[in-house]
Amino acid sequence: MSDYFPLNTSFLISMIPVLLTLVTFLAGFIAVMANRRKLGKATGLAAAGTGVLTFGALLNVGWYIVSFNMPVIMRDLEVSYSTISVWYSIAGLCLGAVHLLGFILLLLSVFAGRAATPATPAGTPPIAPGAPYSQYAPPAAPGSPIQG
């Protein structure tokens, strides 16, 4: 077996959260695509958001495998710690930007899919500006000395 992909127990256990994140984002993408007719105009943004998050999770799995094998890569390529630091910085910035974009698209889809609701419920007249709050008196409790 190759030095670059060790299948030991610690590697497999440490991959569980990363893979669960990938499965969750993939399930969200599938759910959006399955319900695209019900979601209306928010479907495009929701599909793009979950798609970007799934892509980011795939990149995260790949980077996790590279990170786990970094000692072997450093030995074979003879790279310095400063070069590795630059790689980690670039990968962290790229993964952060991808996840931020995905969550922004999801939030936009939530707000794009909401119907505009009136400020007052139907059938109740609006309160005039400057009107005192005494227009509405809550019902008195049974046995209360204040009976309206």
Distance CA 94, CA 136 (A): 56
Q: Where are the domains of the chain?
A: 9-115
C-alpha R_g of the chain = 27
Per-residue model confidence (pLDDT) at position 56: 92
Contact 109, 49 (CB under 8 A): yes
The amino acid occupying position 14 is S
What digits encode the pLDDT tens for the residues 57-97? 999 988 888 888 888 888 888 888 898 899 899 999 999 99
pLDDT of residue 127: 63
Distance of alpha carbon 54 from the chain centroid: 10
Tell the residue number behind the tokens 């995260």, with chain if given: 60
DSSP string, 66-123: HHHTHHHHHHHHT--HHHHHHHHHHHHHHHHHHHHHHHHHHHHHHHHSPPP--SS-TT
User: Quick one: average pLDDT of 136-141?
Assistant: 63
